[in-house]
Each structure stands twice: as C-alpha cells, then as structure tokens.
Amino acid sequence: MTYRGRFAPSPTGPLHAGSLVSALASYFDARAHGGSWIVRIEDVDAPRTVPGAADAILATLTRFGMHCDEPPVWQSQRDDAYARAFAQLQARGLVYPCGCTRREIADSLVHAHARHATLAYPGTCRTGLHGREARAWRLRVPEGDAARIAFVDRWQGPQSQNLATEVGDFALKRADGLWAYQLAVVVDDADAGITHIVRGADLLDSTARQIHLQRCLDVPTPSYLHVPVVNNDAGEKLSKQTGAAPLDALVPLDALTAAARHLGIEAPAARSLDAFYATATAAWAMRFPR
Ligand code: GLU
C-alpha cells in the first residue's frame, strides 16, 4: 500500500507549540512509513481565516524542516468537489434542509457533550421545515444499531460513538452558506488518496461522523491516529485564544525537541534538523510499526 498522510491546518493564526505537535506527528508517521506527506490549508471557513496566516504556516513548516511532497491544497479552491459530494448525498435521499437556529436547538437540547461542545441535533426538521426557511442542510444519520460507528485508533485504542444519540443529524452546509468542516475534510482526504490520518485528539470526536460520511460517499476509510493535545498551564487546549506564542519566535530545534517529547519521542542530542528527523523518525517507527 502507498502511504499518503497529511497535515491540515486552519489558517486562523501562526503555528504554535500545539499545532506543531500535530504537524510533527503526521510528518514522523509519513516518513516512518516511507510515505508521502501533503499539506492542506483548511480555509473553508472564510470568516475565521486570517490574511497571511496560511503563508506564515507554510514558511514555518519549511523552516522547521517539514517539506511537503506536493503543492499545498487549498479548501477555498475546492467548492466544486464539495458541491458534487453534496449532490451525491442528496441523490441518495440523505440530506434535508433545516430551519432551526442555534438557540432553538439549544432550547430543545437532548444533551450537550463536552469535547467539541457539539449539541446533539434533536431532529426537529427531519420531517420538514414546517413553514420555516431553510438555513442549514443536514445529513440524516441512521437509527438503531446502524448508528454506532466503531474504529480502532492507533494511539487512543478502540473507539465507539452512537451518531444518533451522541451527535444527531449533522450539518453539511452551514446556515451561513459555507460547507461544513466534516464534509470538506472527508471529500479532501478521499480526493487526495489519504491513507493515514494523524492529528490532534480534539478531533477524535469528529471521526465517527467522518467515517460515516465516507461510507455514504463510497470512499475508503483511512486509518486514524490521534495524538494528545498540548494544554497550557490552566489546562486549556493551547491555541491563539489561550495564549500560545507563535513558533516563529522560537529556535526550531528547541521547539521540535519539546514537541517530539510530548509525543513520547526523545531526540535530545540532535545538533541539526537532519539529525533530529533521522533519530525521531526511527524512534517513531519503532513505536508505530507498519
Ligand atoms: N483544520 C483542522 C484543525 O486545524 C484539522 C482537521 C483535520 O486534521 O482533520 O483543527
């Protein structure tokens, strides 16, 4: 099998110690498997995109010695691919318009679940809009046993989620007219022939939705590995909002050594980027063999 991996940053700010860990883990895994590594700029959420952030991320990856094997893919240029997948799901009768506002969903909330603060959609518009205007478009998830999606994560072990009770029918197209992350990521990974997804554990909770979408679209399911997220001193996931410093200010080898250590990979004596990657990739290969 030809290994194809990816790093898929959202250009909402510069890379920081947390996003470096995800980038590095995906890079180690691709190199340890003798595979290709590509970068996808996830700028589908235009309002959250910060001008210049994507170029800064790409420049930092290069400066830190992570070289992509193909030109980066930009979600903002892939509208047609998302529309085609959406039409395919529509043709299978799996999509319906939803007129609910966030407030209404919260009010009729079945339960909120912590990690991504996603609210399980109670299915209000499954049977029609009841005279309201369409806002978002949702995927009808299965009921009963078919709603349970199970997979084995290479780092986190066996996982299982009931889409009907824990997520509900989820949005493919958002009320603001933008394609939802869940649809874009599945279409992009399939079109790029991604075989292995390595990313932060904050996305573990989205994986069942993505596997289900892959099945609905008849595309292969990649293997998954979710690395622990980096928290700040207050125990919050490190992000620009929680005070992460941009990596540009840091010495690459120091930041890389710290990120590798977070992943359980020791490469303390490396004096050059080449030496660092040689040691760290070999250690990763021992830990996560083919
Ligand atoms: N763009 C997402 C993020 O930066 C990552 C998506 C993914 O790896 O599937 O959190």
Residue 58 has pLDDT above 70, yes or no: yes
Pocket test for ligand 1, best of 27, 42, 116, 189 (most atoms within 8 A of CB): 42
Residue 111 has pLDDT above 50, yes or no: no
Cα(198) to ligand 1 centroid in Å equals: 10
- Domain 4-77+193-287: what homologous superfamily? HUPs (3.40.50.620)
Residue 76 has pLDDT above 80, yes or no: yes
pLDDT tens-digit map of 139-178: 999 999 999 999 999 999 999 999 999 999 999 999 999 9
Cα(91) to ligand 1 centroid in Å equals: 28
What's the whole-number mean pLDDT along residues 237-242? 84
Please state the domain extents for the chain. 4-77+193-287, 80-150+158-173
> 181-191 and 79-91 helices cross at what angle (nearest 10)?
100
Residue 119 has pLDDT above 70, yes or no: no
Measured between alpha carbons, how far is 170 from 136 in angstroms, rounded to an integer? Answer: 10
pLDDT tens-digit map of 257-271: 999 999 999 988 889
Q: Please list every protein residue whose CB sits less than 6 Å from any atom of ligand 1.
A: 8-10, 42, 185, 199, 203
Cα(39) to ligand 1 centroid in Å equals: 11
Ligand 1: which atom is nearest the Cα of residue 206?
9
Ligand 1: which atom is nearest the Cα of residue 12?
4
Average pLDDT, the chain: 92
Measured between alpha carbons, how far is 40 from 38 in angstroms, rounded to an integer? Answer: 7
Residue 1 has pLDDT above 80, yes or no: no
Q: Give 246's pLDDT tier (boundaries 50, 70, 90).
A: confident
Cα(9) to ligand 1 centroid in Å equals: 5
Ligand 1: which atom is nearest the Cα of residue 19?
4
CATH topology of domain 80-150+158-173: Glutamyl-tRNA Synthetase; domain 3 (3.90.800)
pLDDT for position 267: 87
Q: What is the 3-state secondary structure (H, E, C) of 120-148?
A: CCCCHHHHCCCCCCCCEEEECCCCHHHHE
Is residue 287 classed exposed, middle or buried when 0-12, 13-18 and 19+ CB atoms within 10 A define those classes?
A: middle
pLDDT tens-digit map of 170-217: 999 999 999 999 999 999 999 999 999 999 999 999 999 999 999 999
Residue 114 has pLDDT above 50, yes or no: no
